[in-house]
Structure 1
């Protein structure tokens, strides 16, 4: 089953222009705060602009721009990226391709990686595009990569358990073929694996959530799950945080 793609542009590092082939013509485009600077530079008109605009360098969107704009308070619970994901989710998107979500502030990078896990734990998929690397997550399912030519230097792929424990992890087709393994979030056992030349590969977990990184040149994987998922990632929150000290 295909799903409409949500392309999100954040305020982080871009490492060059996004590959246009990764942005479908019918993609639902969300600019998250300073991501609006990047959509303007790329000549992309977003469907929605969202943020408190603390990272926007250019002019704030005006009514004359004709853009749907969601203004968030600076003292809020949800980061701008989560708000962007919620907007895409409400539009019916279940695949999210994100630029400007890596690099820069390490806390923002960690936050965005956690958000990939949030998507995965609700049966959706998210991809963070960074400096030659894509970061994604899979929960109770598998990522299948098509066979592709591998350069002499190799195509590194790494797997980490975000869950306390991830059970029955399999990595057929990779250089190190883990079989029915158990990974934890405090033991680094899946780093610096490699794709093999013109050999299909997959990464699966029966129970748990994995973070997976792979080269940006590799085609996005197909995804299968071992069960259906229910619920969503929450409603858009535009209120000032109730947790503030009064």
Structure 2
């Protein structure tokens, strides 16, 4: 499986325009903070300072002219190929962040949720990790990596679900949860890993040796430790910002 890279990872916190479910966002000390479009309304409501603001600003409460003059603001066309959320991730990535905490990206519009899940897998493929927070759950994705949870006083029915995102995820092991497997293959056409559970005071690990997993877990669980065997990638790994109107746009 190769060498495991355990390294300090700069945090980035991204605020999206979606539902927050009365959850109070946590901003780690020294984290780079990005507001994606209508996420600017949420940062202002929480009194959180932003390092960068980006989007097409079609979902902010005020007219865009109200934000002209703010520092580190980037306006994107609305008819582009990438989401405002991915653009926000690219900004944080370029600043050196490889661990992302994303609020306002789960629930609400189903298409945006699916897009954000695909975004997590893209980040994992490039040796980063993202955590989508919302509605009592956290979603993440790992590629050729291990996610480790410390033991905690888990009540009954605190769920963890594991899905293959890649066509095949090989050498998958799940230890310390109610249902355990060792060195199995998962496919993205069968939800074999749904509705697993934390056990009280039992550390748990989820690992994949070859492929990408999507994982959801109860937000009450302690923050997991992430270790990957993939080589670190540089500031341009996710590509440049998508600042152009889509070439795929139908012309009338």
- TM-score, normalising length: structure 2: 0.92
- Match of residue 179 from structure 1: 182
SS at match of 1:83: helix
Structure-2 residue corresponding to 1:204? 207
Equivalent of 1:94, from 78, 98, 121?
Answer: 98
Counterpart among 143, 164, 167 of residue 167 in structure 2: 164
Residues 154 and 221, structure 2, Cα contact 8 Å, conserved in 1:
no
Equivalence for 1:123:
127
- CA distance in 2 between partners of 1:101 and 1:244 (Å): 25
Corresponding residue for residue 5 of structure 1: 11
1:9-158 equivalent positions in 2, closer than 5 A? 9-19=15-25, 22-60=26-64, 61-64=66-69, 66-151=70-155, 153-158=156-161
Aligned residues: 242
Q: Secondary structure at the match of 1:191?
A: strand
Q: Is the 8 A contact 2:23 2:134 kept in 1?
A: no
Deviation at 1:59, TM superposition (A): 4.5
- Measured in 1, the distance between the counterparts of 2:23 and 2:197 equals 26
Partner-residue secondary structure (3-state), 2:111: helix
Distance 1:130 1:17, change over 3 A: closer
Deviation at 1:62, TM superposition (A): 3.0
For residues 122-158 of structure 1, the C-alpha deviation after alignment (integer angstroms, 9 at most, x for no partner) is 110100001000000000111011111111x331100
Higher mean displacement: 225-234 or 164-173: 225-234
1:67-91: CA deviation from partner (whole Å, max 9, x where unpaired): 3110000111111001000011111
Structure 2: tracts of 5 or more residues without a match: 1-6
Distance 1:63 1:226 in 2: 43
Larger CA deviation: 50-59 vs 84-93: 50-59
CA RMSD of aligned residues (A): 1.3
